[in-house]
Amino acid sequence: SNVIPLWVGYKYLSYLCLLSAVIFPVFLLLKPGLDSKSYRKGETLLNFGLFITLVLIFASNLSITIYSLTNPRNDTLGRIGFDQMPVGFGGGSPDSKVTPEIERARLRGTVITAIVRTEPYALTAAIEYIYKGKGSGKYLMGTDSYNTAAKVAYHAAEYSPHIPRLPILPIYSEYQDTWITSLEDLEKITTHGELKYILTSKDMKSMNFEFWTWLSGNFEDVTILSGLPFNGELRVFKLLERDARN
């Protein structure tokens, strides 16, 4: 990955703060006499340690602020705002309920904008993983929508320039709410070995259960191996061996 996950450093900083909080009461419990040299030396070391911890906390927060100000997020490619629409939770007056059309539109937006809420370093890792495992297939990967395909192509060109410009197969048209690659076509493409990986939002399960059923029967979820967070919005699926498919 070309982007260093700064949260790793902050995690260890949290461990350091926790360790300091544990050591302090132990030191008070086992402290020697107030007039001893050991007490003065221990007090000096403890104060120095606490001072260093506070400096690190201040520096880490300052680095986050500076990074946010100098590197604003501009990767909301194709964001159309459908995922900002309200959701009906039942109850209330009939006039206050959200219509099925708006519910569907919101779900569409959630699916196609999932990739812009994925951290760049995680997306880079997933693209690299897919490229290494695609073999001689024609397509780099299949994606849930045009939007995801465009973002993958742009991201790969910027962060993984060594990867050839291979075609990416979109499955769904987010603007017309129609399927542009049928299950029959997907079956043929995968049978011929032209497609081994599919990158999709987990909410595609609600968008089209038939597609998700086919996907689950012919692919295995390798999200955790790809570098994407397992509890994130995007999933990576790898084509199963022929004997293991439904």
Alpha helices (H) along the chain: 7-29, 37-70, 100-112, 120-133, 146-159, 183-191, 204-207, 209-218, 223-226
Structure tokens at 117: 């809420």
pLDDT over 80 at 78, yes or no: no
d(CA 79, CA 112): 8
d(CA 48, CA 198): 53
Sorted by sequence, the CB contacts under 8 Å of residue 6 that are 6+ apart come out as: 63, 64, 67
19-38 burial, b if ≥16 CB within 10 A, otherwise e?
eeeeeeeeeeeeeeeeeeee
Strand partners, 65: none
Structure tokens at 142: 């299949």
Highest-pLDDT range among 81-95, 135-149, 172-186, 231-245: 135-149
pLDDT over 80 at 11, yes or no: no
pLDDT at site 49: 72
Is residue 24 within 8 A of residue 46, CB to CB? The reply is yes
Query: What percentage of the chain carries pLDDT values higher than 70?
Result: 73
pLDDT at site 75: 45
d(CA 82, CA 107): 7
d(CA 39, CA 27): 10
Poorest-confidence range of 91-105, 130-144, 146-160, 209-223?
A: 91-105
Q: How confident is the model at residue 149 (pLDDT cuts 50, 70, 90)?
A: very high
Average pLDDT over residues 134-161: 92
pLDDT at site 55: 81
pLDDT digit string (tens) for 51-60? 877 787 787 7
CA angle 106, 112, 118 (to 5 degrees): 115
Average pLDDT over residues 125-152: 93
